């Protein structure tokens, strides 16, 4: 089995058979000419299959250690496809500090189809077990969570869920497969917003589901074609370009993320830092065991909304924008941006304060990033 770094570059990739091009071409076509009635070259219609998309799906399946991948138009479309595995009356247990868009999909859309959801701190196995019911069919986990960066023990929670006949889904967007590989811990499905670390250049929107079980693979292949929320060939090509540098980018994200977290932890005007790489993080030991490095996401609390507003408006190298995982550093205010759709009482319950700031630490020179933070926060 090739190493991770090699899989990023070569997994699912073959030179173009017609030209020998080493980079997968962008097959920008809506349909395919058939040789004769009932005989084609593996593709009939571009919603059903596309060679560029197929190359990306094979690449990401190899990187995550799965059997098959299915690329969608966004991370939310990918999560919606996973939810289509469920039926009316089914129950799902979800990490309480889940992404605001996931919460919105579950509570505002999928409950209308007769699904029910319970939100618990999945870092606490007792709470997970208490939330399981005879109707529970799926456990949906984010680890680290967005934006509090709380962890779930994947090996332990997967064993618990499987003992109750519950499938385990892990949103691995925040970590990336370089940092964390949920399938190796027993998860059944892994989902990513490819918009983030997999693409890495903030120029594509997409999603991927990686599966290992036959029944999941069969259904996801069907629903990808039936519902049609596919990833286009150009976006697939952009993500393929991104995965070729995933290993080197993530190594730098890890290094810069740790350096920024340590800097913030030592700053007198910062009240709290959320980063699993810090020994002060309550689950640091789990992070060291479960993750390869600690990623580029850092959150910190400056004590007041006005203080957060001042920092957000002063930052220059850290661009004020939603999203994450690009080579450039970004900053956001979760309460008014990524988690605005989450009710205030729920935000308070998960520790998401008005004074919390989330950083997506890029791969710029670390001294430049520190200097930007100094001028924004003060000495």
End-to-end CA distance of the chain: 50
Q: Which of 260, 271, 283 is nearest to 360 (CA)?
A: 260
What is residue 25's DSSP assignment? P
> Annotated catalytic sites, by residue?
47, 99, 171, 196
Q: Which residue has the tokens 């007041």?
A: 304
Class of domain 4-243: alpha beta
Compute the CA torsion angle 80, 86, 88, 89 (nearest 10 deg): -120
Domain ranges within the chain, ordered by starting residue: 4-243, 247-377
Encoded tokens for 106: 């579950």
Encoded tokens for 84: 């289509």
At 354, the pLDDT band (50, 70, 90 cuts) reads: very high
Q: Which residue has the tokens 């919460």?
A: 103
Strands (DSSP E) along the chain, which ranges?
A: 68-72, 91-95, 116-120, 136-142, 167-171, 189-193, 207-211, 272-274, 297-301, 319-320, 330-332, 356-360
Cα-based distances in Å from 294 to 143, 186, 370, 375: 11, 21, 18, 26
Please state, in angstroms and rounded to a whole number, the distance separating the CA atoms of residues 138 and 170. 11
Is-same-fold flag (4-243; 247-377)?
A: no
Please state, in angstroms and rounded to a whole number, the distance separating the CA atoms of residues 124 and 122. 5
CATH number of 247-377: 3.90.1150.10
Is the pLDDT at 11 greater than 90, yes or no? yes
Length of the chain in terms of residues written: 379
Say what the pTM is: 0.95
Average pLDDT, the chain: 96
Is the pLDDT at 174 greater than 80, yes or no? yes
Per-residue pLDDT, 39 = 84
pLDDT digits (tens, 9 = 90+) for 30-43: 999 998 888 888 88
Per-residue pLDDT, 4 = 94
C-alpha 193: how far from chain center: 5
248: left (phi over 0), alpha (psi -120 to 50) or beta: alpha
């Amino acid at each position: 089995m090739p190493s991770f770094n090699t899989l990023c570059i070569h997994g699912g990739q073959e030179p173009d058979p017609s030209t020998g091009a080493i980079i997968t071409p962008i097959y920008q076509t809506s349909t395919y000419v058939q040789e004769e009635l009932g005989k084609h070259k593996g593709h009939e219609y571009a919603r059903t299959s596309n060679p560029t998309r197929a190359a990306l799906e094979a690449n990401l399946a190899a990187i995550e250690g799965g059997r098959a991948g299915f690329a969608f138009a966004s991370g939310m479309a990918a999560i919606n496809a996973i939810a289509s595995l469920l039926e009316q009356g089914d129950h799902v247990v979800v990490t309480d500090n889940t992404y605001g868009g996931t919460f919105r999909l579950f509570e505002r859309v999928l409950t209308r189809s007769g699904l029910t959801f319970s939100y618990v701190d999945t870092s606490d196995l007792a709470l997970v077990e208490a939330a399981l019911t005879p109707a529970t069919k799926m456990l949906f986990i984010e680890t680290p969570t967005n934006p509090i960066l709380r962890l779930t023990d994947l090996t332990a929670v997967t064993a618990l869920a499987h003992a109750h006949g519950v499938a385990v889904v892990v949103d691995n967007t925040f970590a990336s497969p370089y940092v964390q590989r949920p399938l190796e811990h027993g998860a059944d499905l892994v989902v990513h917003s490819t918009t983030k670390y997999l693409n890495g250049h903030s120029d594509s929107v997409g999603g991927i589901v990686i599966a290992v079980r036959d029944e999941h693979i069969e259904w996801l292949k069907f629903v990808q074609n039936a519902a049609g929320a596919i990833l286009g060939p150009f976006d697939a090509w952009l993500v393929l370009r991104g995965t070729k540098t995933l290993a080197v980018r993530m190594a730098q994200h890890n290094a810069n993320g740790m350096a920024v977290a340590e800097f913030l932890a030592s700053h007198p005007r910062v009240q709290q830092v959320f980063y699993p790489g810090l020994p002060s993080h309550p689950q640091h030991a789990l992070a060291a065991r479960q993750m390869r490095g600690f990623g580029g996401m850092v959150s910190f609390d400056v004590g007041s909304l006005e203080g957060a507003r001042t920092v957000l408006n002063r930052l220059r190298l850290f661009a004020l924008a939603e999203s994450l995982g690009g080579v450039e550093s970004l900053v956001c205010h979760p309460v008014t941006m990524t988690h605005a759709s989450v009710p205030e009482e729920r935000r308070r319950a998960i520790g998401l304060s008005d004074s919390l700031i989330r950083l997506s630490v890029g791969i710029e020179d670390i001294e430049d990033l520190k200097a930007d933070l100094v001028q924004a926060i003060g000495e």
